[in-house]
């Protein structure tokens, strides 16, 4: 592999890793913003509004998780292009996207739990 091509692939790998973090950060920020809106509106949200917000937060969390996994899949493809003998490029570094997806899921669960614990 030519050095220029390897440098390009290395840069793309760095970009993909950053994107995983950006997606998680954006999702957690959006979930927090939804919580903030629901927490401050007056009168408090009805059960129907809580249900709609629960669906929205769940969609944000699931979408972010899917994008993070997709980015990690793409990362594995790029790693395989660099080293065709890499036995399992997907597993290398997988703890990071797992932690990011878990952070998004936990923040969504906490927000949903908090909404339903408060009186309507």
The pTM assigned to this predicted structure is 0.90
- The confidence score (pLDDT) of residue 97 equals 97
DSSP 70: H
3-117 CATH: 1.10.132
> What's the mean pLDDT in 86-114?
95
- Of the pLDDT bands very low, low, confident and very high (cuts 50, 70, 90), residue 120 is low
pLDDT at 1 over 90: no
How much is the pLDDT for 2? 83
Rounded to the nearest 10 degrees, the angle between the axes of helix 95-117 and helix 47-82 is: 180
Q: Say what the pLDDT of residue 88 is.
A: 92
Closest CA to 82 of 4, 2, 3, 6: 6
Domain ranges of the chain: 3-117
pLDDT tens-place string over residues 41-59: 889 889 999 999 999 999 9
Over residues 18-30, the mean pLDDT reads 98
Mean pLDDT lowest among 14-18, 29-33, 113-117: 113-117
Mean pLDDT score of the chain, rounded to an integer? 93
């Amino acid at each position: 592999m030519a050095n220029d091509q390897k440098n390009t692939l290395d840069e793309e790998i760095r970009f993909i890793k950053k994107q995983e973090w950006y997606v998680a950060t954006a999702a957690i920020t959006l979930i927090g913003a939804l919580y903030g809106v629901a927490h401050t509106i007056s009168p408090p949200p009805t059960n129907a509004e809580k249900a709609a917000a629960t669906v929205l937060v769940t969609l944000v969390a699931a979408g972010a998780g899917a994008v993070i996994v997709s980015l990690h899949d793409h990362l594995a493809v790029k790693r395989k292009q660099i080293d065709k003998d890499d036995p399992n490029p997907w597993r290398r570094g997988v703890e990071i996207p797992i932690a990011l997806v878990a952070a998004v899921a936990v923040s969504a669960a906490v927000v949903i739990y908090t909404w339903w614990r408060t009186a309507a």
